[in-house]
Every structure is written in structure tokens, then in C-alpha cells.
Amino acid sequence: MKSSKRKREKRFKKSLIIYSIVLAILALIFLIYIFITLLSYENNQVDNFLLKTVNELSEDDLKTYLNDNNLSTDLLSKYKTITEQKDLTIKHLEDETYEVYNGNRLLFTIDTKITDNKTKLGLFTYQIREITKITPNLNRGLFYYDVLVPSNFEVYVDSQKIEEYSESNEFPDLDFMYYNESMPTLVKYEINKLDSEKEITIKDYNGNVVDVNEDNFVYQNKDYFIKTSTLEEAKNYINIDFDVMKVAEDWHLFLTKDLSGERYGFYNISNYLIEGTNMYQMAYNWAHNVDITFTSKHTLGNPIWPVERLENFVIFGPDAFACEVYLEKDMIVAGKHQTDIMHDKLYFIKDNGNWKLINIQAIEEN
């Protein structure tokens, strides 16, 4: 009886062990299945899929991309190091097209297509993709920069001066300054097909190094011009060898028919101007039409200019600058003192070696 009981206990233990082993194997299989499912789910997420594609590009593929863009295969090791980075970023462009970036530098544009949709464990739904086209961004090389500066600045790449720029445009809202070559333009240097990251140095027209901002491989200081508060400070950067305040005073007198000389002082004021410019024509029209004769009868106070300021200089280059003028002219009309205010920005350029007034713009008061 006892022997029979021991046999049953042995069979039970054996069955229990077998059952436990089977359960353990099934559990392991299920865990492996879940792991594979999760791995497949993660690998087929578009960012991971594209990152893996780029990371695993072969040397032959990379050589082909370099050759197709007329780049030396000596860059292969650097190119491979870049494409194998794990922190590349993916941006969705449109439809099933994506861009791959190394920081802010575009590496590839990749076209894909969805070949299947999967749902696993009733929870994980993902798409199976394949690559249809990989377009490397190598038309400017592995390393490149844009530099935007005035045309009288100098640009250096690792101490080597760049001689030619690719594009030149007038500065916005300063088109009136381009009567001659005194006013610099805004130029763009495209520095392409470098073999590594380089140090970009920019110097102004006096040879001083200029601090610039770099954004997405574009070097630029949007505050392109030197600015000073006073005439004395401005003279540290530019040779202003004439009386700027005298020009402003004469212009103010000219507008109120108080400037001496023929034709209400036009031939005196014209010495400051360039014939053929809008500024010259405006002065000519004022002196030669009937409006000037309607200027109210008045005398000038003593002093004529109780308040006058010359400030806020903007230096465009050695032959062009602007400054702000504030004048209060004391006029006596019908026995009463009246103040005629001139608050303008005056623009000057050199013409045949002489400083000339090229434009006047009123400053809006707050």
C-alpha cells in the first residue's frame, strides 16, 4: 500500500517537473516573441529605420556619392565617420520623403515607400518601408559655409583670404547711396568643398576683426556698419574733413529762404550736392518754383540756433556715412519767437574726392 502511494507521489512530482519545464519553455518562447515584436516595432519606426539605413551605408556607396559629386575619395573616412553617428536627426519633408541631418547640415534626402502594415499582439501597429532613393547633399561638398558681409570687408578661411564673392546686392532701403562706388554692397561668399570644418575670420575695411554670428553655417552680422554716438568717435574710423553741422545749418536756412546767394541761396547749397541726383533736383525745384516765395516774413533770432546736436553716426565705409542732426532755429514772426525744428538723418558719400550730401530723411518723433 505504502509502495503504491510512493509511486504515485513520484509520478506526480515527475509530471509537475515536466509541466513546469513546458510552461517555462512556453514562457520563454512568448518572451522571445514579445522581444522580437518590440524590436521589430522599434526598428521599423521611421526615424530608427532611416538612421539604421544611413549608419550602414557601405564604403562603396559612399565612394559613389563622392565620385558623382566630383569629390576626392580621400574624404571617405571622414564621410563614413559622419554617416555612422548615432545622433543624426530626421525631418519629414513631404509624403514619404525624409531628410537626414548632422546637426544643421543636410546629409541625405531619402525617398521611401510603404510595402506592408503589421499589427502584433493586437497592440503594436507599424509600417514596413523600403528605400526607393537616397540623394546625398554633396553638391557643395562635405563642409561648406556662406558669409554675408559688406563688399569692403575681407573674409579669411583658416587665415587664407577669399578673393571672389558669388553675389552682390544693394543694401535694402539705401538705394539712393549708390550714385558711385563709394557705398559698399552686401556680398555673399559661398565657400564650398572644404575637407574639414574651418575657422572663418572677417575683417572690416580698417583691418579690424569683426564679431559675427554663425547660424546654420551662415556667418553674418546683421549690424553690418560701425555706429558711434559722436563726431569725435566717428573720426576714429573715417576721415570726415568738412563741417557737417554747417551743411545742416545751410540746408535749414535754404528751406526758409534765409540762405544768402543767388536764387535764394541755391547756388551755395548746390556746392554740397551732386548734380543729377534726386537731392540736387529737389533743391533746384524748391529754388525755382513759386512755393518758396510764400515763406512767411520773419527775421532770425540771436542766436539763430539755440539748440543743435550732431549725433548717431553710421559709417558704411571710408567713403560713405550718415548722421543724425537736430536743430532748433529761432524765427521771429510778427514780433513773436517761433521755433523751427530740423530733425533729420543726413547721408553723405564721396564724389571725386569731395564729400557730398546724397539724401536727407526726416526722423519720426515718438
In the chain (366 residues long), the average pLDDT of successive 10-residue segments reads 63 71 68 57 75 94 95 94 94 93 91 80 70 95 93 94 95 94 96 92 92 87 90 96 96 87 85 95 86 74 93 97 95 84 96 96 82
User: Quick one: 86 and 153 in the same domain?
Assistant: no
Interatomic CA distance for residues 281 and 270, integer angstroms: 10
Residues 71 and 109 in one domain: yes
pLDDT for position 12: 64
The residue out of 168, 192, 224 marking a domain boundary is 224
d(CA 161, CA 154): 7
Q: Give the β-pairing of 143-150 and 218-220.
A: parallel
User: Is there a single domain that holds both residue 211 and residue 254?
Assistant: no
Question: Which grid coordinates are listed for 120?
Answer: 502584433
Are 174 and 263 in a shared domain? Answer: no
Question: Are residues 180 and 70 part of one domain?
Answer: no
Q: Which of 88, 62, 87, 84 is nearest to 75 (CA)?
A: 62
Do 24 and 51 share a domain, yes or no? yes
Based on C-alpha coordinates, what's the Rg of the chain?
38
Please count the structural domains in the chain: 3
Angle between helices 278-288 and 262-269 (to 10 degrees): 170
Neighbour-count burial for 291-312, b at 16+ CB within 10 Å, e otherwise: ebeeeeebeebeebbeebebeb
Residue pointed to by grid coordinates 519545464: 21
Domain boundary among 201, 224, 247: 224
What's 261's domain CATH number?
Answer: 3.10.450
Clarify whether residues 189 and 238 are in a common domain: no
CA atoms within 13 A on the CB side of 273: 20
169 and 204 both lie in a single domain: yes
Model-wide pTM > 0.85: no
Whole-angstrom Cα distance, residue 280 to residue 270?
7
Q: One-letter amino acid identity for 311? A: E
Q: Whole domain around residue 155: which residue ranges?
A: 143-224
* Same domain as 126, residue 38: yes
> 38 and 102: one domain?
yes
Residues 236 and 342 in one domain: yes
How many C-beta atoms surround the C-beta of residue 188 within 10 A? Answer: 15
Q: Are residues 110 and 86 in the same domain?
A: yes
Q: Helix H segments across the chain?
A: 2-43, 46-55, 59-68, 76-83, 231-234, 244-255, 262-269, 278-288
Among the candidates 203, 224, 245, a domain finishes at: 224
